[in-house]
Structure 1
């Protein structure tokens, strides 16, 4: 039933598509057709052999991955032919007049053979040797022997290009699998010495490099700080030796490109080029010869054709969570990049939804999880209203992932990592903070006790949450006039202690750029040299800041926002100070991993500043529960994970729990359902966890400048913030 529904959907799309169809052959019916979408300009070739599902082929991505045996382009051509064709002719099949080897896109990829009735004895023997009774690959023969056997028959056998690529890929896979086993055995025996990079690798890093190089297209999901970059560079060196790769594309966030350049120059002797500048500049750069080419995700959207024209052998996606939304334009364009080998890097392969993992895996192997409709049907649990309540069959998903996915946690390699100690330092609200904080809390409590919430009420709830968070840092973030901040006072007390000695350095994080600037004022008062990094800093300036902190012994503190801190390697420091805790544990670990990572030779101290008795302390208690789905999918043995979907009526119940307010006696669900639904979260704190993630996104949009002076112009400012949030969500 599910497959029939999906086929029907494609027929409906065919009728609505208004495709332009051209017959490319000489035959009236059984021919090749060019199908053009006038809206997108996309063109695909459809080959018609009959009118039944499975008879035909198309070059579009959907046909290659949906396992249905049809697509909207095939259905559009068939619909067009049926208009002028008598019913009895629609039952005919194309007569096979020449032998042809093609790739069958069924549940599994298989070589297949079109065998004409009249053929030589040698061709008949080849067909029986390699194919079954349906002329599909039987597995009895070896791919290495197939092409020579084809060349030995008297007929001119056509081998389609995708079939030839498949044979070549299977031969390569078998060869590298044998090499991997040989190397892993040597590694276990302590006798492996590949000497891939000028620095020694830990055993788990060598194992990672072997996995990435030998499996062809893979995902490395190691915890932050375990050396994903160095494992990737080692894998590329191995591929250069064994498979002759000479063009490697690295796609990374814009803020990380220069970090990749630094690592490549440090650990390899390969030529590296950063793509940057105007369209004309980039066009000239793409014409240059280089081994490594570094681009950011936004450039892929603009330059995909130029990138594919370069024909990279290997594509590396760094921080691949950028493509977790399969509907985003960036995700769609990245998945159109072509290469033989692929290495996908992400420390957070999944946060709250399996759909995000599916999107990332699509880039590596679009058929690994099957079509999206089948994947969702197999792994999601829905209630009678269609709401997501949990995931199932995770053992089958892990089984499918195993050949392409490698993940090691810090715990697994802890003996090879320096020690880390975490401390939470509580501070009290000052009276100057408490008064406006209580005003915001009272306003929030009054809103949450209403029987129903209007659209404006909901926006005011989110604004109150933002104000309360900022007030926990400093009154300056709230009113831009006063600056009462016990946290900054505590920071001033901590810094001399943390920097005691000649070689200690500190990295301090805040979500708010304004808070970072206030921390800088504290350091000025203490006479401590520092640098500041934030998301608005240009790439070259960012590089200069990193170099100063890493090389200047007098520069003792690195101040950074979360937007600026992505992709940093700051092992020269040994202390992380979080001026406030992010509401997403993955972001917290990313901060700490800037310092506590491979290359760190000293124990690392982590200091978290939390304002006692406020929303910050309540959020502190929710951080651990946000990891439950992540652990269940990749680290656990359970076959099912059940949770309650955080539907719209539940969202503000979670807010009430966060701020300690009781639920009103009646809430009108119909009105509440107008709130955009956040991602479902995991038991035991499902509602709280999901809401924290949503509120975190909101906080990232509603900055201090946007919420300042809300009262005089509340509706306009909140509407602007809501629009900004919508843009973030769309991206």
Structure 2
């Protein structure tokens, strides 16, 4: 600690609080000043200047912080012109910081008659580091743009704003990316990780996210890089083995950090830490949050699409993982971004555009549509209803293998499958007393968005209306604004509502009967399909991508998605049936057929027509025959083999949608 003055804030302390509070003092300095104030000669010494000249960091005034000079009682003859060249009459450093100041420090280094304060020197070094990072980010951005928005290891072309985001993350090394939902934060983080891997030797990447997003992260990593991410799960012994798999991506949920902190720091030793959707932790004062902050890593990214929806204090705590200096001290953060009453109660927020990159800022760079799959785990009640229904359908399927089902059994089969589908949406669709709807809750978390939700269940609309009323909103006929809007249809008399959807209303949920009016709702985003696995209702008009998609391509894609879900649920038989159906649909699309062949007809069609006529290649035929052969022993297929088949099927199906990818 350096006590330079008893009359002004020119002192220095090495504690963390002094380094970040921007007040020029701390509890240690104030304690020493309080003790000195009790001395009998305090009135005599309190205004005495320091006999030695020193350079310090001044936090007072409108231009704070400012590097200043305190001149001593006497100045050496050779030092006086140096000080006069760099400081004005008030003691303010008159040249550029940090460049000229650091050169000045080198020039006067080793002098006993001039002290360079650690606070001033640390401030200049921080500015130099920030400038170097900015230059590095600019260079990274230029190199990516020179490559046409592509990185060698990443299978995607970045949009201009994504190039900026990747450059920002990789250039800063420790940074927060607060993009709106749907702007591709995951891709930007993966691309930045690969840049750091190629240029800075980053090998081990640890992604911490909500449990519901673990599989989604693994899927995105595979999609954009071809790499297999290690999802951390299972008992302690199993997790210990998983952490030792070597370089690559590791994905775990926040709750596991508390249990595995020692393993993470001792065995994994991540080079890069990525925290995704961390604002979903209800309280950053919990043990989980404390454990997250203790993960050691050279680089760290925080990704969040909704950092502003609840408590900005949690965002502040989160940023301490990255760099405590980014948001400044808590008192300034509260002043800059909070609106409070005279008692300090938070009434609202301001200047939020400084904390989040809104999609309106990059709208002209976005494609017409962005398709994103969001995994929402089922509640315990949903799982119970779903499993009971699937078990009932499985028993009837066993009967169907021996003989045709009776009309009554067919009705029971349809009812069981219907219950399973409804349970996937919400338990409330089956159990009227239940109010849980995880998919709608997930949509409500995506604050600040407009949305049109497709669902074939009218009960889902009722669930939304319950949430609207819970939030105190009124129906659209009574108000022209609110968080959620529920309509049965958009009629000519609803122009005010249409205007709201285009401008002011953050979110709208509309049932399937409004599909004919979607051309008037072009500003709505996102469009969410609540049951994406199953065949949707007919969609009029060609404004939607799904309407323009070939039926066989859609069938193949949806079959593949359903198969992947069943693989995760350890249902190899149904998963393989869906994979085979998806492959046959894609093959029929490639061969120009209107309908796919049945599994029984597939071999004859393949070798009697498709191959001889050149409509399918040998590799295509080999993939189809492999799936047909595996279908004979579906119940005994190990999950890795089934996953590999799903990956091959995904590449085959994607090639049908994009002819340029065909080999």
TM-score, normalising length from structure 2?
A: 0.50
1:417 paired residue among 369, 373, 394: 369
Seen in structure 2, the aligned counterparts of structure 1 residues 96 and 301 have a Cα distance that, compared at 3 Å, is farther
Distance (whole Å) between structure 1 residues aligned to residue 482 and residue 189 of structure 2: 31
What do the CA deviations read for 1:315-365 (whole angstroms, capped 9, x no partner)?
432212056745445446655777775421012212144444444455555
- Contact 2:425 2:439 (C-alpha < 8 Å) held by counterparts: no
Distance (whole Å) between structure 1 residues aligned to residue 36 and residue 329 of structure 2: 28
Distance (whole Å) between structure 2 residues aligned to residue 616 and residue 265 of structure 1: 34
- Contact 2:218 2:228 (C-alpha < 8 Å) held by counterparts: no
Distance (whole Å) between structure 1 residues aligned to residue 218 and residue 460 of structure 2: 43
1:625 and 2:492 aligned: no
- Contact 2:379 2:438 (C-alpha < 8 Å) held by counterparts: no
Distance (whole Å) between structure 1 residues aligned to residue 24 and residue 379 of structure 2: 52
Alignment of 1:7-406 (within 5 A): 32=1, 47-83=2-38, 86-88=41-43, 91=46, 95=50, 97=52, 108-109=64-65, 124=80, 127-128=83-84, 131=87, 135=91, 137-138=93-94, 140-141=95-96, 143-144=98-99, 146-153=101-108, 155-156=110-111, 166-178=123-135, 180-181=137-138, 192=148, 195-203=151-159, 204-215=161-172, 217-239=174-196, 250-253=207-210, 297=254, 315-322=273-280, 325=283, 327-331=285-289, 334=292, 342-361=300-319, 363-377=321-335, 379-382=337-340, 388-391=346-349, 394-395=350-351, 397-398=352-353, 400-401=354-355, 405-406=356-357
State the partner residue of 1:433. none
- Contact 2:264 2:295 (C-alpha < 8 Å) held by counterparts: yes
Seen in structure 2, the aligned counterparts of structure 1 residues 123 and 375 have a Cα distance that, compared at 3 Å, is same
User: How much has 1:209 moved relative to structure 2?
Assistant: 0.8
- Contact 1:218 1:344 (C-alpha < 8 Å) held by counterparts: yes
Distance (whole Å) between structure 1 residues aligned to residue 345 and residue 393 of structure 2: 55
What do the CA deviations read for 1:1-25 (whole angstroms, capped 9, x no partner)?
xxxxxxxxxxxxxxxxxxxxxxxxx
Secondary structure at the counterpart of residue 79 of structure 1 = helix
- Contact 2:341 2:347 (C-alpha < 8 Å) held by counterparts: yes
Seen in structure 2, the aligned counterparts of structure 1 residues 525 and 609 have a Cα distance that, compared at 3 Å, is same
- Contact 1:48 1:56 (C-alpha < 8 Å) held by counterparts: yes
- Contact 1:286 1:307 (C-alpha < 8 Å) held by counterparts: yes
Secondary structure at the counterpart of residue 302 of structure 2 = strand
- Contact 2:149 2:163 (C-alpha < 8 Å) held by counterparts: no
- Contact 2:178 2:306 (C-alpha < 8 Å) held by counterparts: yes
- Contact 1:508 1:579 (C-alpha < 8 Å) held by counterparts: no
1:607 and 2:565 aligned: no
- Contact 1:324 1:360 (C-alpha < 8 Å) held by counterparts: no
Bigger drift between 221-230 and 380-389 goes to 380-389
Secondary structure at the counterpart of residue 406 of structure 1 = coil
User: How much has 1:618 moved relative to structure 2?
Assistant: 3.3
User: How much has 1:232 moved relative to structure 2?
Assistant: 1.0
Distance (whole Å) between structure 2 residues aligned to residue 80 and residue 241 of structure 1: 56
Seen in structure 2, the aligned counterparts of structure 1 residues 196 and 150 have a Cα distance that, compared at 3 Å, is farther
- Contact 1:264 1:272 (C-alpha < 8 Å) held by counterparts: yes
State the partner residue of 1:515. 382
Distance (whole Å) between structure 2 residues aligned to residue 243 and residue 215 of structure 1: 13
Seen in structure 2, the aligned counterparts of structure 1 residues 372 and 277 have a Cα distance that, compared at 3 Å, is same
Distance (whole Å) between structure 2 residues aligned to residue 86 and residue 283 of structure 1: 65
- Contact 1:509 1:579 (C-alpha < 8 Å) held by counterparts: no
What do the CA deviations read for 1:148-203 (whole angstroms, capped 9, x no partner)?
54334462587677766654543343344345456657877x76456253312331
Distance (whole Å) between structure 2 residues aligned to residue 271 and residue 353 of structure 1: 36
Distance (whole Å) between structure 1 residues aligned to residue 250 and residue 393 of structure 2: 43
> Which structure would you say has the larger RCO, counting Cα contacts within 8 Å and 6 or more residues apart?
1
State the partner residue of 2:437. 580
State the partner residue of 1:408. 359
From the two aligned structures, give the one with the greater strand fraction: 1
Distance (whole Å) between structure 2 residues aligned to residue 114 and residue 242 of structure 1: 44
Seen in structure 2, the aligned counterparts of structure 1 residues 158 and 236 have a Cα distance that, compared at 3 Å, is farther
What do the CA deviations read for 1:637-687 (whole angstroms, capped 9, x no partner)?
99xx9xxxxxxxxxxxxxxxxxxxxxxxxxxxxxxxxxxxxxxxxxxxxxx
What do the CA deviations read for 1:502-558 (whole angstroms, capped 9, x no partner)?
xxxx999576312222123323444599xxxxxxxxxxxxxxxxxxxxxxxxxx989
Distance (whole Å) between structure 2 residues aligned to residue 251 and residue 260 of structure 1: 10
Distance (whole Å) between structure 2 residues aligned to residue 283 and residue 116 of structure 1: 62
Distance (whole Å) between structure 2 residues aligned to residue 240 and residue 234 of structure 1: 10
Alignment of 1:642-657 (within 5 A): none
Distance (whole Å) between structure 1 residues aligned to residue 263 and residue 80 of structure 2: 45
Seen in structure 2, the aligned counterparts of structure 1 residues 589 and 610 have a Cα distance that, compared at 3 Å, is farther
Secondary structure at the counterpart of residue 59 of structure 1 = coil
Secondary structure at the counterpart of residue 155 of structure 1 = coil
Distance (whole Å) between structure 2 residues aligned to residue 362 and residue 74 of structure 1: 24
Unaligned runs of 5+ in 1: 1-31, 33-46, 421-505, 530-555, 563-577, 597-603, 629-635, 642-731
Distance (whole Å) between structure 2 residues aligned to residue 127 and residue 356 of structure 1: 45
User: How much has 1:220 moved relative to structure 2?
Assistant: 1.9
- Contact 2:270 2:296 (C-alpha < 8 Å) held by counterparts: yes
Seen in structure 2, the aligned counterparts of structure 1 residues 147 and 257 have a Cα distance that, compared at 3 Å, is farther
- Contact 1:249 1:292 (C-alpha < 8 Å) held by counterparts: yes
Query: Across the two proteins, how many residue pairs are aligned to each other?
Result: 443
TM-score, normalising length from structure 1?
A: 0.46
Distance (whole Å) between structure 2 residues aligned to residue 581 and residue 271 of structure 1: 28
Distance (whole Å) between structure 1 residues aligned to residue 379 and residue 271 of structure 2: 41
- Contact 2:273 2:297 (C-alpha < 8 Å) held by counterparts: yes
Secondary structure at the counterpart of residue 218 of structure 1 = strand
Seen in structure 2, the aligned counterparts of structure 1 residues 419 and 324 have a Cα distance that, compared at 3 Å, is closer
Asked which structure has the greater CA Rg, the reply is 2
